[in-house]
């Protein structure tokens, strides 16, 4: 093969941007160049990877075409720009290796425009070594390479090299160093590279801090303890898990009691795809998701358990679905290897409502009342990152919680935006920072209801700004004055602030994700959002553009007796709807239903409703779901957000009937009035119609009413594009059937595929609106 330079060769400079550093991209280019007879070099530069290549024109063309097609699994090529470089001195192509193509040292300072890979599952090659008795990393819990392992959770700062990660305290041994420096080795520049001799250590402790084992013996002891029903706190990638055998009813109940988690379903990690497939239905998309590199928790329909050792009923009480996932780290794989169980409850290592624990001492202090034992290690976790949760709807992946495996990959925007910080909502908080054509939505932070989560929120902001080397020009926040994120924003005195209405942010997040500037018709359905009129919105029909919105309609307003207590006790919303139907006579007319609720409290609430005392006004669709769930006898009190709505969907049975709502114009707004639907629910409940039938009729009726509601706005505005957002659209029936109905009316439907439709998307919408507000402000000053 002739590697020399000749006049008939084509010379090109190739700039590759995206997730192309720390993922084996340069060795990939090296091998690809040799395969195509290309000479030159590859190096990291300030924006990604730079390639200088020379060869026969046809070979160069094939080389360029192949670059994005066969890139390493962790790489994501966003841009691959090529320019002819005939004027480059031939010396630039001089060989730095006998073969004529070299991997050069990084060029210039590494800027924050370089993208960072998320943490990903252990690859097949590393698994092969993990369980090969002759390999020097046999059963080593931290085996990794450029194709797998930790990234985002261990990075303290950029550039991404070992000294700026939590691997800094561990100096590589000679063998690991040789791999690290070999361009043809899959551990070339793998920053977390380590082995038994030089890397992190694992050990087992009891509640009192006494060491019970170290190294592989500690892992084997943990397997034995789990098999006997013990609760073990396991330090993972982005934080601790609390693990217990999923088949141990006593163990799972004990975990619920200690964690103060009454009914919210636990996620279950299965040993492998075969074990998972015995318990849950899996289509092809779900198989690919659950076994992919991101390894999210996937919400799956459960199978009957005939002939199997049943999972504990308290794993997911009353739930037809199961949050299932597969091992992600070498330590997880080891916990299942040769174990007598094939399923473990793996839930976030924290007390309910607090952030996931990341530090050993924090675990000893905060989890000692929950865990019986602690499987610890000494590799630090710099960024906490919960497990991601997804479900498949309409054949597509729909995120429910976006975190490990997906963050910090940005959403790629259709236009350049100014840097803006969106600080998100109160529940399911995330933050978002824009940079050029990228929007970086953080991992799930949690519910901002305590100081611990607020500190995690602040740490996430500081870390993301450091990694991206971006200082925002504006902070966008929710209008609700009691949200901790809003209060934090208002304390920042050095930047312009923009309050963004909650449901405007919901729909704007769809625009950002789908590359649409508007106008669109926006349907935002959720539990609560502070409105421009100081009432609680949640069933909204909007006309939305990037910079503003107009309210076109809303659900009929009802009262929330007792305010926040009506969220925790859905029967209060049922009583409110019955009161809206029959006023003070509701108790007598619907006695067969109201008698189920506490007499003294019921009487007080009716007086409150009659006199409109401590009864906030709401147009919330979520509260309608609560009312129907309570009337149908599905759920009268909740222990976690959205429980009543989830269970109402879960009990649904096949039925062709429906309850009809009304759509009418009032004060120039289109009102969706569900009162007659509620009357139908109440009448069926009085006649002891099965909750599953009531649920089916309600869902079908609501879809029809929503379709009619949007159709009226379509006729009025001529806008044929509809964006759907809000927690209600996590309901498969509502999302699927409404999309079908609107499409049938010749409307284009936009919905989320990269961020969740719940309040986790609010920060993205805020940042998008804020960036366009900045742009319009600049234009108005000219």
Q: Crossing angle for the helix pair 621-631 and 691-717, nearest 10 degrees? A: 160
Task: Give the three-state DSSP class for 319.
Answer: coil
308 vs 324, which has greater pLDDT?
Answer: 324
Could you give the percent of the chain with pLDDT greater than 70? Answer: 96
Asked whether the beta carbons of 145 and 182 are under 8 A apart, the reply is no
The arithmetic mean of pLDDT across residues 382-395, rounded, is 95
The arithmetic mean of pLDDT across residues 421-448, rounded, is 97
| Average pLDDT over all residues of the chain | 93
pLDDT of residue 9: 83
State how far Cα 217 lies from the chain centre: 35
What is the per-residue burial (b if ≥16 Cβ within 10 Å, else e) of 419-451?
A: bbbbbbbbbbbbbbbbbeebbbbbbbbbbbeee
pLDDT of residue 112: 53
pLDDT of residue 581: 97
The arithmetic mean of pLDDT across residues 666-678, rounded, is 97
Contacts 24+ apart (CB under 8 A), 230-233: 230/372, 230/373, 231/255, 231/258, 231/370, 231/371, 231/372, 231/373, 232/371, 232/372, 232/373, 232/374, 232/375, 233/349, 233/357, 233/363, 233/367, 233/370, 233/371, 233/373, 233/374, 233/375
Q: Checking DSSP bridges between strand 396-401 and strand 420-422, what pairing results, if any?
A: unpaired
pLDDT of residue 782: 45
Cβ neighbours of 596 (radius 10 Å): 14
Could you give the percent of the chain with pLDDT greater than 90? Answer: 85
pLDDT of residue 378: 97
C-alpha 754/C-alpha 510 separation (Å) is 10
pLDDT of residue 97: 47
Peptide bond before 676: cis, by omega within 30 degrees of 0? no
* Continuous segment of H or E residues that includes residue 674: none
pLDDT of residue 601: 96
Per-residue pLDDT reduced to its tens digit, 197-256: 999 999 999 998 999 999 999 999 999 999 999 999 999 999 999 999 999 999 999 999
Of the given ranges (87-91, 194-198, 508-512, 627-631), which has the lowest mean pLDDT? 87-91
Of 147, 100, 113, 151, which is closest to residue 127 (Cα–Cα)? Answer: 147
What is the per-residue burial (b if ≥16 Cβ within 10 Å, else e) of 641-654?
A: bbbbbbbbbebbee
pLDDT of residue 154: 96
Asked whether the beta carbons of 538 and 427 are under 8 A apart, the reply is no
Place 353 in a pLDDT band, splitting at 50, 70 and 90. Answer: confident
Cβ neighbours of 70 (radius 10 Å): 10
DSSP H stretches of helix in 373-450? none
Asked whether the beta carbons of 421 and 431 are under 8 A apart, the reply is yes
Structure tokens at 267: 């996620």
C-alpha 750/C-alpha 572 separation (Å) is 34
Tell me whether residue 369 is exposed, middle or buried, using C-beta atoms within 10 angstroms of its C-beta: 0 to 12, 13 to 18, 19 or more.
exposed
DSSP H stretches of helix in 337-442? 360-366
Task: Give the three-state DSSP class for 47.
Answer: coil
Asked whether the beta carbons of 774 and 473 are under 8 A apart, the reply is yes
- How many Å is the Cα radius of gyration of the chain? 28
pLDDT of residue 637: 97
Residues in the chain: 782
70 vs 323, which has greater pLDDT?
Answer: 323
C-alpha 21/C-alpha 74 separation (Å) is 10
pLDDT(332) > 90: yes
Structure tokens at 417: 């935006």
C-alpha 644/C-alpha 642 separation (Å) is 6
The arithmetic mean of pLDDT across residues 175-198, rounded, is 94
| 612 dihedral zone (left: phi>0; alpha: psi -120 to 50; beta) | left
* Continuous segment of H or E residues that includes residue 269: strand 267-270
């Amino acid at each position: 093969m002739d590697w020399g330079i000749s006049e008939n060769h084509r010379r090109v400079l190739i700039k590759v941007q995206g997730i192309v550093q720390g993922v084996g991209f340069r060795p990939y280019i090296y091998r690809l160049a040799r395969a195509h007879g290309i000479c030159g070099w590859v190096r990291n530069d300030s924006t990604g990877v730079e390639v200088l290549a020379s060869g026969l024109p046809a070979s160069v063309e094939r080389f360029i075409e192949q670059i994005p097609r066969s890139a390493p699994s962790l790489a994501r090529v966003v841009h691959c720009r090529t320019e002819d470089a005939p004027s480059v001195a031939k010396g630039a192509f001089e060989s730095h290796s006998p073969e004529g193509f070299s991997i050069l040292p990084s060029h210039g300072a590494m800027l924050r425009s370089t993208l960072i890979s998320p943490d990903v599952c252990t690859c097949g090659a590393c698994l092969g070594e993990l369980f090969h008795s002759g390999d020097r990393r046999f059963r080593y819990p931290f085996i990794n390479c450029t194709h797998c392992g930790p990234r985002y959770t261990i990075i303290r700062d950029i550039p991404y090299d070992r000294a700026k990660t939590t691997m800094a305290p561990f100096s590589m041994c000679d063998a690991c160093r040789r791999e690290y420096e070999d361009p043809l080795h899959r551990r070339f520049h793998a920053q977390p590279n380590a082995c038994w001799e030089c890397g992190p250590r694992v050990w087992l402790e009891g509640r009192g801090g006494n060491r019970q084992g170290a190294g592989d013996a500690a892992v084997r002891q943990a397997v034995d303890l789990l098999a006997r029903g013990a609760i073990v706190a396991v330090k993972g990638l982005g934080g601790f898990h609390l693990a217990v055998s999923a088949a141990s009813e006593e163990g799972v109940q004990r975990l619920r009691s200690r964690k103060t988690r009454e009914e919210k379903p636990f996620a279950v990690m299965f040993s492998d795809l075969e074990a998972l497939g015995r318990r849950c239905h899996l289509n092809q998309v779900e198989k690919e998701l659950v076994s992919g590199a991101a390894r999210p928790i996937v919400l799956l329909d459960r199978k009957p358990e005939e002939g199997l050792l049943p999972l504990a009923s308290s794993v997911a009480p009353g739930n037809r679905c199961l949050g299932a996932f597969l091992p992600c780290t070498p330590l997880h794989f080891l916990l299942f290897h040769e174990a007598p169980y094939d399923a473990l409850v793996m839930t976030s290592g924290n007390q309910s409502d607090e952030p996931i624990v990341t530090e050993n001492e924090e675990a000893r202090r905060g989890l000692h009342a929950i865990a019986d034992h602690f499987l610890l290690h000494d590799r630090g976790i710099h960024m906490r990152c919960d497990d991601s949760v997804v479900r498949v709807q309409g054949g597509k992946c729909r995120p429910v919680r976006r975190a490990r495996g997906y963050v910090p990959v940005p959403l790629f925007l259709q236009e350049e935006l100014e840097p803006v910080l969106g600080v998100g909502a109160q529940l399911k908080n995330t933050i978002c920072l824009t940079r050029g054509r990228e929007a970086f939505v953080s991992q799930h932070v949690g519910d901002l209801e305590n100081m611990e989560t607020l500190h995690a929120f602040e740490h996430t902001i500081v870390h993301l700004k450091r990694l991206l080397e971006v200082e925002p020009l504006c902070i966008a926040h929710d209008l609700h004055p009691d949200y901790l994120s809003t209060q934090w924003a208002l304390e920042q005195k050095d930047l312009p602030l923009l309050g963004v209405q909650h449901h405007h942010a919901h729909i704007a997040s769809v625009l950002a994700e789908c590359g649409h500037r508007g106008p669109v018709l926006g349907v935002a359905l959720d539990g609560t959002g502070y409105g421009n009129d100081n009432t609680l919105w949640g069933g909204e029909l909007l006309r939305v553009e990037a910079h503003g919105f107009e309210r076109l309609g809303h659900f009929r307003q009802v009262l929330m007796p007792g305010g926040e207590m009506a969220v925790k006790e859905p029967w209060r919303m049922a009583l409110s709807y019955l009161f809206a139907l029959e006023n003070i006579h509701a108790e007598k007319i619907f006695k067969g239903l109201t008698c189920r609720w506490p007499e003294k409290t019921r009487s007080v609430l009716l007086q409150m409703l009659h006199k409109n005392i401590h009864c906030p006004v709401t147009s919330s669709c979520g509260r309608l779901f609560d009312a129907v769930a309570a009337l149908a006898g599905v759920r009268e009190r909740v222990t976690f957000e959205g429980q009543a709505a989830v269970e109402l969907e879960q009990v649904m049975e096949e039925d062709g009937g429906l309850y009809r709502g009304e759509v009418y114009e009032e004060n120039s707004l289109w009102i969706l009035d569900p009162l007659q639907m509620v009357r139908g629910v109440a009448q069926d409940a009085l006649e002891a119609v099965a909750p599953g039938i009531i649920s089916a009729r309600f869902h079908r009726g609501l879809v029809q009413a929503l379709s009619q509601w949007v159709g009226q706005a379509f006729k009025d505005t001529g806008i044929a594009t509809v964006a759907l957002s809000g927690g209600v659209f996590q309901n498969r029936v509502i999302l699927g059937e409404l999309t079908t109905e609107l499409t049938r009316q010749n409307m284009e439907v936009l919905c989320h595929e990269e961020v969740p439709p719940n309040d986790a998307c609010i920060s993205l919408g805020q940042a998008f609106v804020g960036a366009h507000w900045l742009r319009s402000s600049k234009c108005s000053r000219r």
